[in-house]
Amino acid sequence: MVKSVHGDGEQGQRHPSCTRLIGSAIMTAMTGRSGRWTPRSVTMAVGALGIGLVLVVLAVLVIVEISYRLQWPDPHRAEFKAFNHSLDFSKREGSTLLALGDSFTAGAESWPFALQANLGEGWQVLNAGVGGTTITHAERISRLRFRQFHPDVVVYQTYVGNDLLDLRHPLEAKGVGFARQIYWRIVDSGFFAPWFLNHRAAALAALMPSDPEIVEAAVAAPFAVDNYSPRDRWLSRLDPNHVERQILVEGDAMEAAWRQYRRGLRLLVERCRVNEADLVILVVPHCVQVAPIYLERFAAMGARWSDADILARSPVPFVARVREAVKGQSSIRVVDALPAMQRAERKGIQLYSTNDPHLTPEGSELLAQIVAASLRNGLSKKGPHPPPQ
């Protein structure tokens, strides 16, 4: 009879498993040649395991960083597929529009979905939005989407409320834990890997089953500080002036964030130029700029500003700087959504959610109308033709 290699016979003894070898090595390190456990051997083993763990973590971070920078494999394939499930990518008729942006853009029923309905036939709107991103992420994402779809028009949605803060976090604010400080310092240095791993963890957490009735009740609930978005509540207490500092681009941290933002924007502009694509920069205002009701809510959470009237004037310094950065280029248009959104709120249309700074369906529809109007007005000599009326 032939004995199994993996059995207890002679051949099995000649070929010990990998698990046995590792276990034997650890036991040897912990007990030494004498076979007895000593404090010194235990310390050495724990140190070796710690070093090994650090090396594994560093290796994972390096691999993820390189992968994200190259956009290979596609790091946002799941979101892109979910947000564009109804599109037929085999058809390339008419003009292709690529929508980039953060959580205002991400979603199967956000403003790009409404824009497709506004533009109608002759257009294909691709939603490449990813929540929690800013210009540095959008510029990377655009590289892959340009190779895949060769869009005629790119609409980059930027948000006054946190696009600069995500480039320079409030490190010196009281109440920031050590681990969070380390994380912020790494991502503020321009690394993508920690952010992406955090982003994937949040996406997995969102897949956890939830009670639809509880979710619906939360959406319909009247405003209360305890019901509002936890992140905004926490930021308003941690850094009461964080909204104003971004809108006005005020302070050393925001100036540094702006310089990084401008570099990313110029890279995106250059990519559009090389690929002969028109660019629309859609600036979404923070809700406190749009109507007094939102000012009151953020004030109740602890947010502060020196002059609320300045925040509501168009263009605010952030928008003015974006326009200055791209001036003189006929294929680029900066669209400030603030005036149109203020008019809609004065008419009684609620554009922002009651307990969240994101848009209602009416807000997304208005953004789609604003973008559609900009496209119909034409961008450049080669710009796409408006759909038939």
95-109, 198-212, 344-358: least confident range? 198-212
Q: Give the CA distances from residue 374 to residues 329, 339, 361, in Å, rounded to whole numbers and listed in that order.
A: 16, 14, 20
Whether the per-residue pLDDT at 5 is higher than 50: the answer is: no
Average per-residue pLDDT for the chain: 90
What pTM was computed for the model? 0.88
pLDDT band at 24 (very low <50, low <70, confident <90, very high): low
Which of 37-46, 211-220, 369-378 has the least mean pLDDT?
211-220
Sign, Cα dihedral of 143, 281, 241, 231: negative
Average pLDDT of the residues in 256-271: 98
Confidence label for 12 from pLDDT (cuts 50, 70 and 90)? very low
Mean pLDDT of 94-109: 97
Helix and strand counts by DSSP (H, E) for the chain: 17, 5
Q: Is 52 helix (H, G, I), strand (E, B) or coil?
A: helix
- DSSP states of 119-143 as a string? H-TTEEEEE---TT--HHHHHHHHH
Measured distance CA(236)–CA(298) in Å, rounded: 7
pLDDT at 382 over 90: no
Q: Taking 70 as the threshold, does the pLDDT of residue 32 lie above it?
A: no
Q: What share of the chain is helix, strand, coil (3-state, %, to 5)?
A: 55, 10, 40
Q: Alpha carbon of 196 to those of 78, 132, 165, 187, 357: distances in Å? A: 14, 10, 17, 10, 23
Q: State the average pLDDT over residues 164-184.
A: 96
User: CA 317, 319, 324, 328 torsion: positive or negative?
Assistant: negative
Handedness of CA 127, 128, 134, 138 (dihedral sign): negative
Q: Is the pLDDT of residue 246 over 90?
A: yes
Q: What was the pLDDT predicted at 283?
A: 99
- HSE-CB of 38 using CA atoms within 13 angstroms: 11
Under the banding of pLDDT at 50, 70 and 90, the label for residue 38 is confident
pLDDT at 254 over 80: yes
Asked which of 44-53, 260-269, 315-324, 375-384 is least confident by mean pLDDT, the reply is 375-384
Tokens (6 digits) for 94: 């008419």
Q: What is the pLDDT of residue 90?
A: 73
